[in-house]
Amino acid sequence: MATNVISSSQEYSSTPSPVQPSNSNHSSTVTRSYSAFDDEIPTVDYSLLFSDDPLQQSLALEHLGQASCKFGFFYLVNHRIPDTVLNNLFKGMTEFFDPMNLEERKVYGKKDPVDKIRWDINSSNSHGENREYLKVMTHPQCHFPSNPSGFSEVLNEYHREMRNIVVGLAKAMSKTLGFEANYIEKAFELESGFDVSAMNLYPPNHVSKGHVGIGDHTDPGFIITLTQDVNGGLQILSHTGKWINVYIPDHAILIQLGDHLEILTNGKYKSHVHKVIVANNEVQRLTVATLHGPSLDKVVAPALEFVDEDHPPAYLGMTYKQSLEAKGHDEIDVQSSLDKIRLPSA
């Protein structure tokens, strides 16, 4: 069964300490300005969502609904992605981000607003971003780098497996909302959904400056799936207004609800602000954050099922493409524009 949601009120002190592995006792600390709590994050057992036992499945769906409504993020375990797929992924990323091959990676630097692959390295105190990243479009078409050898095959296998999980979660979440299993798939036209994956390498490195890997933000789309090689610095702002430290269990997936699920449900299921702090990292951290979105041409607005006299529409309707470009960004940037979409009275 999925674990119960438990909360604790222990807060980090201001003494720095190293990155903790996923099986640590969570005793690490961060600088005072980036302190966060160790409140428990819900864990959802993916296999139980599709159990042949009606009672088991019902309880698992109820737990998923609570995690989605009360938190907006959760760990996903027993998701059926083989460990070898995840291990090969991080091995390939390590080879790709080899510092000796920096010049080779620059071929994927920004060239055009319609780039399908984009690489960059940012190190800035003023802009609050310290990471090297590679962004690739993974659906409805895949666009992967040709080097290192075999990396594109590894990425294709990972994203094929993850796509199956996302479709399964769409079915399960539809049920938690009281609808047919294909409700979210239809609402977002997920069959042609626009997915972008950001592979990140976080400091320490020779160019890192400041304490922030990525500043406060939410992400567009249906859901965001995140896998990583080690824990270190990810924090989510909870529904209670507290920053929570994220410790993803080994080979589990962190699921975060995206802006467009919030829009579709008129705020019933919310996306949450998160950030990455790198101040205390003593080893580099690799992450793969994939934003699984609606079809680019799909208009997303509060669905009629979530609108009534007491709950008027709280968001503007626009296509997914329009929302991605609302602040002047390119599609592959997959930047949030929720502040422009949310109506002033919401």
What pLDDT shows up at residue 126? 61
Cα torsion through 225, 253, 189, 113, rounded to 10: 20
List, for residues 44-64, the tens digit of each pLDDT value.
999 999 999 999 999 999 999
Query: pLDDT band at 6, cuts 50/70/90?
Result: very low
Query: pLDDT band at 248, cuts 50/70/90?
Result: very high
Q: Is the pLDDT of residue 302 over 70?
A: yes
What pLDDT shows up at residue 9? 31
Q: Is the pLDDT of residue 29 over 50?
A: no
What pLDDT shows up at residue 243? 96
- Sign of the dihedral through C-alpha 216, 41, 165, 249: positive
Average pLDDT on 2-6 reads 34
Domain positions in the chain are 32-341
Q: Is the pLDDT of residue 69 over 60?
A: yes
CA–CA gap between residue 182 and residue 171 (Å, rounded)? 6
Identify whether the C-beta of residue 235 lies closer than 8 Å to the C-beta of residue 244.
yes
What pLDDT shows up at residue 124? 72
Phi, psi of 91 (to 5 degrees): -65, -45
Average pLDDT on 25-54 reads 78
Bridge partners of 288, per DSSP, are: 199, 227
List, for residues 258-280, the tens digit of each pLDDT value.
999 999 999 999 999 999 999 88
Average pLDDT on 162-182 reads 98
From the centroid of its chain, how far is CA 167? Answer: 15
- Sign of the dihedral through C-alpha 84, 90, 96, 98: negative
Lowest pLDDT segment from 16-20, 62-66, 276-280, 336-340: 16-20
Q: Is the pLDDT of residue 5 over 50?
A: no
Helix segments in the chain, DSSP class H: 54-66, 83-96, 102-105, 151-176, 183-188, 259-264, 320-324, 338-341
Helix (H) or strand (E) holding 233: none
User: Is the pLDDT higher at 124 or at 217?
Assistant: 217
List, for residues 103-158, the tens digit of each pLDDT value.
999 999 998 999 999 999 988 766 678 999 999 999 999 999 999 999 999 999 99
What pLDDT shows up at residue 18? 29
Lowest pLDDT segment from 207-211, 226-230, 266-270: 207-211
CATH number given to 32-341 = 2.60.120.330
Give the pTM. 0.89
Q: Is the pLDDT of residue 27 over 70?
A: no
